[in-house]
Each structure stands twice: as C-alpha cells, then as structure tokens.
A and B are shown apart, each in its own frame.
Chain A
Amino acid sequence: MKLRRRNRDRPSFQALVEHSPVAMYVSATERAGRYHYVSPALVELLGWTPEEWKADPDLFEKALHPEDCEHVLGQIAVAKANRRPYHTEYRLIDKDGATIWVEDTAVPDGDCWQGFLVDITQRKAAERRYRALVEQLPLITYIDSPDRGDGAPIYMSPQVESMLGYTPREWQATPSFFLEHVHPDDRETVVASQEEALRTGEPLVREFRFVAKDGRVVWLHDIQTVVRDDQGRPWYSQGFALDVTSAKFWEQERERLLRRAQMQNERLRELDRMKDEFIALVSHELRTPLTSIRGYVELLEDDRALSPAERSAFLQVIDRNADRLQRLVEDLLLAAQAEANSLNLHFEEIDLAKLVVDCVEASAPNAAAREIALACTVQATPAILGDAGRLAQVVDNLLSNALKFTPEGGGVHVRVSESESTALIEVADSGMGIPAGEQSELFGRFFRTSSAQREAIGGVGLGLSITKSLVEAHGGRIGVHSTEGVGTTFTVHLPLAAAEERVSGAA
C-alpha cells in the first residue's frame, strides 16, 4: 500500500533504491564489470564501496568465484547479444574473502544493465545439506523434468554409480538411457506403468530388473511422484529407486521352496492314491482265485451229482487257483524285497538256452488253450551266472504277459542268442502293443497299461517291475520295443559268466 501511494505521488526513486534491502546496481553492458551505481545494500553485501567499484572495472570478474566465472560471463554475453534479461545464480568472493551465493537478475536498459542481487547463501547451504543427505541414502534419487520431454533426468544422485556402475553424467547424456537398460523382459511393463501413472496422476510404485554396467541384473524398487505447480500442471517428477535384488532373491527362494513343498505334497498324495489303488487291485486279485477255491469246495461238498471225473476236475481247479494265490503272495513279497534291495539270489552256472526251452514248454498248454502259436528259437550261448529259479521267473513273467496281451490266433516267439558279448533273450508277441507314452512307465511298480485296464486284463502291475529288478540284480538290462496294433518285443541282456564283470547288486 505504501508503495502504491508513493508511486502516485512520484516519489524519489533514488530514496527508494537507497533504502531497499535489495542490493541493486547499474552496470555498463559492453563491459560486465563497469559499475555506474551500486546501492548501499550491495556495499553492505560485498564490502566494497561505490568508489572502489568505480575505480576497478575488473572488480566483478575478480569477485566471481573461479568455478562460476565461465558460465556466468557466458550467460550474460548471450543475454546482451539478444538484448534479453538474464537470471542466474553464482558465487562471489566478498572483500573479506567469504563466499556468498547470489541470485542475479538484470534487464537491459540502453547500454546498461539494471539489476539486483539477492543473497541466497543460506538457501544454498540448506540445499547442500539436503543434497548431502540425499546422496548419503542407500538409494538412487532422481528428478525428471516433463518439459524436457527427452526422458533424460535433470538430476541423478551419485549413488547410481555404486549401485549400477553408471555415472550420473553417462546416464544423463543419452535421453533413452533408462529404458535401454531396463531388462528386456520388463521393458513393456515399465513403459505401460509410466503411461498409466501419467494418465492417472497416481504415484508410481513398481519393481523391475535393470541391467548394470557389469552385466549384473539388479532388481529395482522404484517410487515416483509428479510434483505439480500452483495451477496443478505437472512441473517435474521425482523419485527414488532401491536395490531390492537380495530381497527378490529370497522372495524367489521362498517361492521355490514353497513350490517344492507343494510338489512333494502332491507326490505324497499321488503315492497315497497309488497305495489305495494297489490295495484295491491286490484285493481283487486275491479274491478271484479265492472265489474259485471256495466255490469248488462247496460244489465238492454236495457231491451227489458228481462223477469221479468231475470231482477230479474240480480238485484240479482248486489246486490251480491255490497256485495262483501263492504266486501272487510270492510276487508281493519279491516286490517288497526288490524295493528293499534284499533279493536273495543264489548264483550258479546256468545253461540259458535250456532254461528258456523249459519255460516255453511249460507255457505251451496255456498258449494252446488260447490258440496262440508259440515258437522258440535258441542258440547255445556260453554259460551265465545266475539264480535259476529267478531267471525262470523272468522268462515266465515275460511269456505270460505276451500270452495275456496277444489275442487268440496271434503268435509269440521266444529267441535266445549271443549279442554284444551278452546273452540275449527276446520275447516277441503279435499283441495289442503298448502306446509310446506308456513305455517309459512300464517297469514301474503297480503300473498297468491303459489297455490292460480297459480290457479288464488281470494283474496288479508287479510282474514287469519284479522282472526288471531281477534282471538288474543279475547285472543285466531289460528293454522294450512296441508298436500299437503290431506287437511288443521285450529284450533281456545278461552278462556272460566269462566276462566276470557282473554287477553284484544282489550279492
């Protein structure tokens, strides 16, 4: 109010300037240091009298802080050339040698600058304190100016070098530096989050991977806020980024452990389900021969209607089913022993060809009953070391499988030969074949092929797992080749006794 009144009254501007706490000056434009006038406040600020200013045309340049000299004189020269006002901040060394930060604002007036200096030393000290604080924090702070539009930050705190290996200068030199160094897999989401934040005006909180100078992948947790001016327009954005790589590592480690625990749980549930299925299957397989045994015993008890021939036939049925029960029980025991690695094998020299021929002959009635052509081709092989009973079981298991899965009218061919200095047994059938997807599971305990289940072909899924255990306990290996609808061939390689390199897994 006072001012306005004085204005109206055309007061003395000289007095106004003389009494203003603002340091004012008038200087020659062609020579920055030539001061025509310095106000008392300026004398107060820097210590030199108006006479001293007038006496030394280079005083200004002398007072300028050496580090600021170049940019200040350059800025003034540009303003002068364009006849534009200038506004700048720099340091002056006063008469007593103290450094003073000033804000200098000047407008051209004829061949003079009319300007004023504001002492901003305290503000600068505060800024320095904040900056020092910011640059002590274990995180990167940055300021982006939306006006610049090129994406390069106007400020990057120096921690960026220790954290990511890049200097702030390096970073600021390339406008797209940030996006170029975001991990390629995260680039798309980083861009999307940026656009989202610009659109909604919400603070941006995000985590992404960043490629450090040495190639390390660093997880950054980035929080960014847009600062608005009084009119609510975006002014600049500022934010900070933390290195959360180790936190991420532990988070991922925790997830990995959790997943593993879940998988183990699923595996346990699967085992539990398999156990239930196994018990149901074993129960079914035990009940079937038991039904015949009990049923035929009942028929024999009421023997008024029975001829001696019928009586004898019924007794044979009971005997056969008792055998079947016994075999099943033995298989269960053997599977348990194989699992516990405690197969009790008694090794002796064996004529494999003879052993196989005996097995094939024993299966002949079964094959004949199902009208399956059973052929056997054997070459004499050198003796092998093995448990005769268990090897016969291997051949019996493969033979009974072949007969079980071959339709009536089909064929089963058993061969013995010497191959790759091993004794080779092949059991080939013209049966239904095994789907390729099931062949790898074939030797697993309790595994039954989909077709065995569909066709209600009996068995608990122990035969092949036992067979494999027995073959391996003899230092041999078992394999299968099968084509669906064409047939299946099982091959068993057993080491020859002479080789003496038998793996004594069961000894």
Chain B
Amino acid sequence: MAAWSTRPLALVAEDEPDIRLLVATLLERWGYEVAAAADGHQALALAERRWPVVAVLDVSMPPPDGIEVTRRLQALGDVPVILLTAHVDEHSAARAAEAGASGFLTKPFRAQALRKAIWSVVPMTPEAA
C-alpha cells in the first residue's frame, strides 16, 4: 500500500485544525493523497490546480463557505462533495443537496460513516480496488 505511486487526490477543507488533521489522517489511511485547505478560497485554488476525485468540506468555514465551494466545484467539473457540519438545523441538509453535495454528515461523525459516504460517490476507492 505504501508504494502506491498515483494515489487519487482527496480535497479536505476545514478551518478547525484538529478536525482538518483528523479527516486528512482518515483519508490517507484509506489510500488517498490529501490536499488540505483552511478556508474556501484555498480549497477552490487547490481544486482548480489539482483535480481532486472527491472533496470533504466543512460547511461553516471562512468564505466562501462549504455550500458555495460545493456549488463552484459542481460548475468546475462535477467533483463529488461530502459536506460536514456542526449545525443541525433542518435547512442545512436541504441547502447541501441543493448546492449539489453528494453526502452530508453532522459532527461528530464516525469514521465508518465518512468512509461509506465516500464509497457511495467514488466508484473506485483505492482501498476497495
């Protein structure tokens, strides 16, 4: 596994450093190379440069927020997006779906739940291959 030379790229955008590192560590364990961003601007800049196969985004981060980044990633080229949020109001999930997100998880989440969400949108995940 360690010798995987062309690992698929996952984009992580999250302003909380501990959670950013958590998600990045999980994705690396599952065989992804990770590009990490602390806000929406960084996330979009990375996505435009490096074409991730999947993006895991926090909804409320410094602008543009996760919903807006999701919308722009769909315009950019149908990047599947899993949104994470600590807000549990009824509008969040609807707004996520409307923006084109493929998955939606509320914090705190189980590692297993994130893995399933990614499997369901990326047909060939490195671990499964």
A residues near B (Cβ < 8 Å) are 280, 283-285, 287-288, 290-296, 298-299, 302, 305, 317, 320-321, 454-458
Given contacts A284-B86, A284-B87, contact A295 B62 (CB under 8 A): no
Contact indicator A320/B18 (Cβ below 8 Å): yes
**A-B contact list, 22 entries, CB within 8 Å:** A280-B88, A283-B86, A284-B87, A287-B106, A290-B107, A291-B19, A291-B22, A291-B107, A291-B109, A292-B22, A294-B108, A295-B22, A298-B111, A299-B22, A299-B25, A299-B111, A305-B29, A317-B22, A456-B60, A456-B65, A457-B62, A458-B16
B126 at the interface (CB under 8 A from A): no
**B126 nearest CB across to chain A (Å):** 15
Tell whether, in the assembled complex, residue A292 and residue B26 are in contact, meaning their CB atoms are under 8 Å apart. no
In Å, the complex CA distance between A37 and B26 comes to: 136
CB < 8 Å neighbour of A287 from B15, B65, B86:
B86
Query: Across the interface, do A295 and B86 meet the contact criterion of CB distance under 8 Å?
Result: no
What chain B residues lie within 8 Å of A455 (beta carbons)? 62-63
Residues of A within 8 A of B106 (CB): 287
Given contacts A299-B25, A321-B18, contact A283 B107 (CB under 8 A): no
CA distance A290 to B108 in the complex (A): 6
**Chain B residue at minimum C-beta to C-beta distance from A299:** B25
CB of B49 within 8 Å of the partner chain? no
Interface size of B in residues (CB-CB distance below 8 Å): 24
B87 in contact with A456 (CB, 8 Å):
no
Given the interface pairs A287-B107, A455-B63, the reply to whether A296 lies near B29 with Cβ below 8 Å is no
A285 to chain B, nearest CB (A): 8
Additional pairs, 19, CB under 8 Å, beyond known A283-B87, A295-B111, A299-B26: A280-B87, A287-B86, A287-B88, A287-B108, A288-B16, A291-B22, A291-B109, A292-B16, A292-B22, A293-B108, A295-B108, A296-B22, A299-B111, A302-B29, A317-B18, A317-B22, A455-B63, A456-B65, A457-B62
State the CA gap A317–B18 with chains docked (Å): 7
Chain B residues within an 8 Å CB radius of A290: 107-108
Chain B interface residues (CB < 8 Å from chain A): 15-16, 18-19, 21-22, 25-26, 29, 60-63, 65, 86-89, 106-111
**Which residues on the B side are within 8 Å of A280 (C-beta)?**
87-89
One of A288, A294, A296 near B86 (C-beta < 8 A): A288
- Smallest distance from the beta carbon of A361 to chain B beta carbons, Å? 22
Q: Give CA–CA (A402, B96) in the complex, Å.
A: 33
* Closest Cβ neighbor of A454 among chain B residues: B63
A299 partner residues in chain B, CB cutoff 8 A: 22, 25-26, 111
Contacts of B61 in A (CB 8 A): 456
Write out the residue numbers on chain B whose beta carbons fall within 8 Å of the beta carbon of A293.
Answer: 108
Q: Which single member of B15, B21, B62, B88 contacts A283 (CB below 8 Å)?
A: B88
* Complex interface: chain B residues within 8 A of A284 (CB): 60, 86-87
Shortest beta-carbon contacts, A-B, top 7: A287-B86, A291-B108, A291-B107, A295-B22, A292-B18, A284-B86, A294-B108
B29 / chain A contacts, CB cutoff of 8 Å: 302, 305
Q: Tell me the bound Cα distance from A280 to B87 in angstroms.
A: 7
Q: Nearest chain A CB to B76's CB is how many angstroms away?
A: 22
Q: Which residues of A contact B22 (CB under 8 A)?
A: 291-292, 295-296, 299, 317
Residues of A within 8 A of B15 (CB): 456
Among A283, A291, A320, A457, the one with the most B-chain Cβ atoms within 10 Å of its Cβ is: A291
Determine the distance from Cα of A455 to Cα of B64 in the docked complex, in whole angstroms. Answer: 9
Q: Is the CB of B19 within 8 A of A288?
A: yes
- Cα A284 to Cα B108 in complex, Å, equals 10
State in angstroms the CA–CA spacing of A454 and B111 once bound together.
Answer: 29
In the bound complex, what is the Cα–Cα distance between A455 and B38 (angstroms)?
12
- Residues of chain A lying within 8 A (CB to CB) of residue B65: 456
A321's closest neighbor in chain B, by CB?
A: B18
A337 to chain B, nearest CB (A): 26
Shortest distance from the beta carbon of A293 to any chain B beta carbon, whole Å: 8
Per the bound structure, the CA–CA distance linking A320 and B17 in Å amounts to 12
Residues of chain B lying within 8 A (CB to CB) of residue A292: 16, 18-19, 22
From A280, A283, A292, A320, residue with most partner B Cβ within 10 Å: A292
Chain A residues positioned under 8 Å from B18 (CB to CB): 292, 296, 317, 320-321
Considering the complex, give the chain A residue whose CB is closest to the CB of B112: A298
The residue among A320, A456, A457 with the most chain B CB atoms within 10 A of its own CB is: A456
Interface hub of B19, B26, B63, B65 (most chain A Cβ within 10 A): B19
Task: Please determine whether A295 and B60 come into contact, CB atoms closer than 8 angstroms.
Answer: no
Query: In whole angstroms, what is the CA distance A183 to B61 when docked?
Result: 61
For residue A470, give the distance in angstroms from its CB to the closest CB of chain B: 28
